[in-house]
Structure 1
Amino acid sequence: MAGQESHHVLEPPSFDEKVRLLIVVAPYYKDIADSLVAGARAVAAKAGADVDLVEVPGALEIPPAIAMASRMADYDGFVALGCVIRGETTHYDTVCNDSSRGLTMLGLSGVCIGNGILTVETRAQAEVRADPAGQDKGGGAAAAALHLVALSRKWARRRKGIGFKPEGGAFRIAGEGEGSGSA
């Protein structure tokens, strides 16, 4: 039973420079979305992050909104929040799978995203998971985004050699000629 299990939670990262997060939320179930946002905002505030919020119609619109913001705006990370409750049709499976796949594809391309889109069987399950005093999945999604931002910043300082460019060195130019022998 999940309620009796013990889980390890990573210590929150610390930052030398302020982090800018964008929360993208689908408020289809407004009360649940509001709880998710409250949890995400609390975790971001503890980390000293600046947070902006945008709303989109549904979970399927979250990945495109994050993709646009990652290309067009200046955010370090993103928090995807929403809720999909199983209904009587297969639409649930499509929304869950496609929103998750979209976020995964963005993450694999280097976008720092915490996924807090709840996929549940019942409203009661969603309420427990969204509650900041309960499972706080919104806060968990913000924490995940912050951890990825920390990794991104850590690894951005390291540079590998690219193609023919030696690591940390200059290009050597072949042949004789006037001027410097390196570029």
Structure 2
Amino acid sequence: MFGADKGTPSVLDGRKLSIGIVQARFNEAITDALFDACLAELLALGVQDKNIAHVKVPGALEVPVALQAMAERDDFDALIALGCIIRGETYHFELVANESGAGVTRLSLDYQIPIANAILTTENLEQAIARQTEKGRDAARVAVEMAHLLQEIG
């Protein structure tokens, strides 16, 4: 399945994969668009709808704990984190961005499960809107690719 460079899949095939998605509700118009693009791409890659679990949490800081609950179930080949953090006038942006990102990374390493991190961190709403569809699609492709890679290595 993997190309000559031993890292690039020749075909992203999600037919046999189970994927969990955690979506933050904060900035919901953006995260809904992220989810819609992600789901459409997962289905296009062959992931069966019945093998996609989707949960919503209040915000980006709550994403890691839901991902952890999914990782502990050991039912998923990969997970996806969806959220949107837009810079405001306070330090809160940095706190949320840094802590949610660190939590997602730690869980991926601790549980040895690929987690596609599509928690957008943008300066303004316009940047978030410009990225929402492509980042949703990217998250789906990353999840499928990394699930296969870890299966091959494992």
* Equivalent residue letter for 1:111: I
Instruction: Please tell me whether Structure 1 or Structure 2 has the larger radius of gyration of its CA atoms.
Output: 1
Q: Which residue of 2 aligns with 1:86?
A: 87
Distance 1:33 1:67, change over 3 A: same
User: Which residue of 2 is the match for residue 23 of structure 1?
Assistant: 21
3-state secondary structure, aligned to 2:108: helix
1:120: which partner in 2? 122
Aligned partner letter, 1:14 = D
Q: Which has the higher contact order (CA 8 A, sep 6+)?
A: 2
> C-alpha separation between the residues in 1 aligned to 2:11 and 2:141?
7
Change (3 A) 1:63 1:119: same
Q: 1:12·1:143 contact (CA, 8 Å) conserved in 2? A: no
How far 1:97 moved relative to its partner?
Answer: 0.3
Extract unaligned runs of 5+ from structure 2: 1-7
TM-score by length of 2: 0.86
Root-mean-square deviation (CA), in Å?
1.7
- Partners of 1:35 and 1:60 lie apart in 2 by 19
Of the structure 1 ranges 86-95 and 47-56, higher mean CA displacement relative to structure 2 is found in 47-56
SS at match of 1:53: strand
Question: Distance in 2 between the 1:142 and 1:80 partners?
Answer: 10
Which residue is 1:13 aligned to?
12
Please list the CA deviations of residues 89-142 of structure 1 after superposition, one character each: whole Å capped at 9, or x if unmatched.
101000000010011112223121101000000000000100x3xxx1011111
Q: 1:42 aligns with which of 34, 40, 43?
A: 40
Pairwise CA distance, 1:13: 2.1
Note if contact 1:103-1:113 (Cα within 8 Å) is conserved in structure 2: yes
Counterpart secondary structure, 1:35: helix
Q: How far, CA to CA, are the matches of 1:82 and 1:74 in structure 2?
A: 22
Amino acid in structure 1 at the alignment position of 2:125: R
Paired position in structure 2 for 1:170: none
Contiguous gaps of at least 5 residues in structure 1: 1-8, 157-183
**Hey, which bits of structure 1, 4+ residues long, moved more than 4 A?**
9-12
Residue 119 of structure 1 aligns with an amino acid whose one-letter code is: T
1:41-86 per-position Cα deviation (integer Å, ceiling 9, x unaligned): 0111122113121000110111111111110251111110010000
User: Helix, strand or coil for the counterpart of 2:118?
Assistant: strand
Distance 2:70 2:53 in 1: 11
Residue number in structure 2 paired with 1:32: 30
Q: Higher helix share goes to which structure? A: 2
SS where residue 28 of structure 1 aligns? Answer: coil
The match for 2:136 is 138
